[in-house]
Amino acid sequence: MSHQSKTTGQRDASHRRGPRLSAAATIGILLAVLSGCSEDEAPQSPTTSLSAEDPLITISDFDYSFSGTFEPGATITVHNQDNVGHTVTSDTDGQFDVAVGPGETVTFTGPDEPGDYPFHCTPHPNMVSTLTVG
């Protein structure tokens, strides 16, 4: 009987190894399949598409910078690269006032008349600049 139980014990041990090998083989196959996926197939996060010609106000390191020309009545894009929210608020009430959350991009309609329009960030009054509409 001891021989039978030893044989049974050996059979049980090899039976237990079988599923482990199958699991390892399955994981290996999964890794091979997944590594075959290209970056083109990965889902992309939504982003705002901007061309080089779009007038843009960029907020970075608590400072405003500009690119492009701001025409009267144009749609102006504001991109906040900081980790905190900011505003683009005209010093003259009612001209423009937009909030831009951390990492967000928003748009607003610029003034209809050419000129210089001083503005600031409401929560950070040391952030000031002037929007020139030409």
Residues 6+ apart with CB under 8 A from 122: 87, 89
3-state per-residue secondary structure call for 59-111: ECCCCEEEECCECCCCEEEEEECCCCCEEEEECCCCCCEEEECCCCEEEEECC
Same domain, 73 and 111: yes
Same domain, 66 and 120: yes
For strands 105-109 and 75-80, give the pairing: antiparallel
Q: How many CB atoms lie within 10 A of CB 79?
A: 16
Q: The pTM is what? A: 0.61
Same domain, 92 and 34: no
29: containing domain? 2-41
pLDDT tens digits, residue range 44-90? 323 344 444 578 999 999 999 999 889 999 999 999 999 999 999 99
Same domain, 97 and 124: yes
Q: Give, as one character, the DSSP assignment of residue 113.
A: S
pLDDT tens digits, residue range 123-132? 999 999 999 9
